[in-house]
Structure 1
Amino acid sequence: MFYKDRAKLTEEDRWYLDRYLGMDEELHRAYELKESYCCWFKQAKENGQAKIQETKQGLMDFYRKVEQEGIPEFVKAIRTFKNWQTEVLNSFLFGYSNGFLEGINNLTKVMKRNAFGFRNFLRARILLLHKYKKIGSHVG
């Protein structure tokens, strides 16, 4: 229930959420920060290229909220966001993703783990798999 969007919670989920958030003030503040970030992210995705300045201002507002709350884990995460701010904002400007490449890398790592001890065989298997992936049959 902590991960779900607040609008998508059932009555039972809301009851549990209110109960747990009432037990710890820091948890409540952290949950509100999470909801604030999710709200900013949804708005940024909807704005896209059209309102990048508004997206950047929303991110700055989120930074201020985190600094006011002073929760160490969020402050550390914000430092990372600030270091990569240009890249984060560019992700809303351009529709490119490295997801496909990450998928290939993940598949290669899994094959590497499975082929432990068969190093000569592994390179050929990886190359064949990616070359003939569209056929649908397992080559090698």
Structure 2
Amino acid sequence: MGEGTLGLIDWLQKAEPYYKKSVPRIKRWLAEVVGYFEQRTTKVIVEVINHSLKLLKRSGFGFRNFNNFETRALLF
């Protein structure tokens, strides 16, 4: 763990009496928050792919079989 992570954990312990709703939420997502600041990675790409597939699924009622849907999905 980095120095910033340890500082955040220390701050969360001190802030818990003041931010009763926020601190548990931050603790629950701590790995993701730390991952973003350490590696600058997010799940945006996965979310874009999921959104595109859902959109394709909604508009794909005219596909005659699954192979047509699969081919179209792989073109994204």
Q: TM-score normalized by structure 2?
A: 0.63
Q: CA deviation at 1:68?
A: 1.8
Q: CA deviation at 1:82?
A: 1.2
Q: Could you say what the CA RMSD is over the residues aligned between the two structures, in angstroms?
A: 2.7
Aligned to 1:95: 40
- The aligned length equals 73
CA–CA distance in structure 2, aligned partners of residues 117 and 61 of structure 1: 55
In structure 2, do the counterparts of structure 1 residues 113 and 56 end up closer, same or farther at CA, with 3 Å as the change threshold? farther
Unmatched 5+ residue regions in structure 2? none
How many percent of aligned residue pairs carry the same amino acid?
A: 27
Aligned to 1:12: none
| Ranges of 4+ aligned residues in structure 1 off by more than 6 Å | none
Answer with 1 or 2: which has the greater Rg: 1
In structure 2, do the counterparts of structure 1 residues 103 and 119 end up closer, same or farther at CA, with 3 Å as the change threshold? farther
Task: State the SS of the aligned residue for 1:96.
Answer: coil
Residues 50-107 of structure 1 show CA distances to partners (whole Å, capped at 9, x for unaligned) of xx4235424542563353254xxxx1x4323213323321221113333222211111
Task: Identify which of structures 1 and 2 has the higher relative contact order when contacts are C-alpha pairs closer than 8 Å and 6+ apart.
Answer: 2
In structure 2, do the counterparts of structure 1 residues 119 and 103 end up closer, same or farther at CA, with 3 Å as the change threshold? farther
Unmatched 5+ residue regions in structure 1? 1-51, 131-140
Aligned to 1:122: 69
Q: TM-score normalized by structure 1?
A: 0.40
Say if 2:3 is the partner of 1:53: yes
Aligned to 1:106: 51
